[in-house]
Amino acid sequence: MEIALMVISGILIVLVLIQSSKAEPASQIFTGNNTELFKNRKERGSELVISRATMIIGLVFFILCLVISFT
C-alpha cells in the first residue's frame, strides 16, 4: 500500500507542476490594476485532460491515505 501511495503522490506532483498557471501576476494583485477581471478562462484540450487527471489522482491519493490510516 505504501508503495502505491508513493507512486500516486509522485504522479500527482508531476501533474500539478505541468499545469499552466491561472494566477494573476503579483504586480496586478498589489496595484489593483486588473483589466481581465471577467475574462472567460475555459480549459480546452490538453489543459482539460491534465486538470481532470489531477482531480482524479488527488481523489485516489486522499482515499488511499484514508485506507492506510484506518488499517
Tell me the three state secondary structure of residue 4. Answer: helix
Mean pLDDT score of the chain, rounded to an integer? 82
Q: pTM of the prediction?
A: 0.71
Angle between helices 2-18 and 46-70 (to 10 degrees): 150
Over range 12-33, report the average pLDDT. Answer: 73
Q: Quick one: pLDDT band at residue 46, thresholds 50, 70, 90?
A: confident
Cα 64 from Cα 5, distance rounded (Å): 7
Task: Decide if pLDDT at 36 tops 90.
Answer: no
Q: What is the pLDDT of residues 1-15, one digit of tens each?
A: 889 999 999 999 999
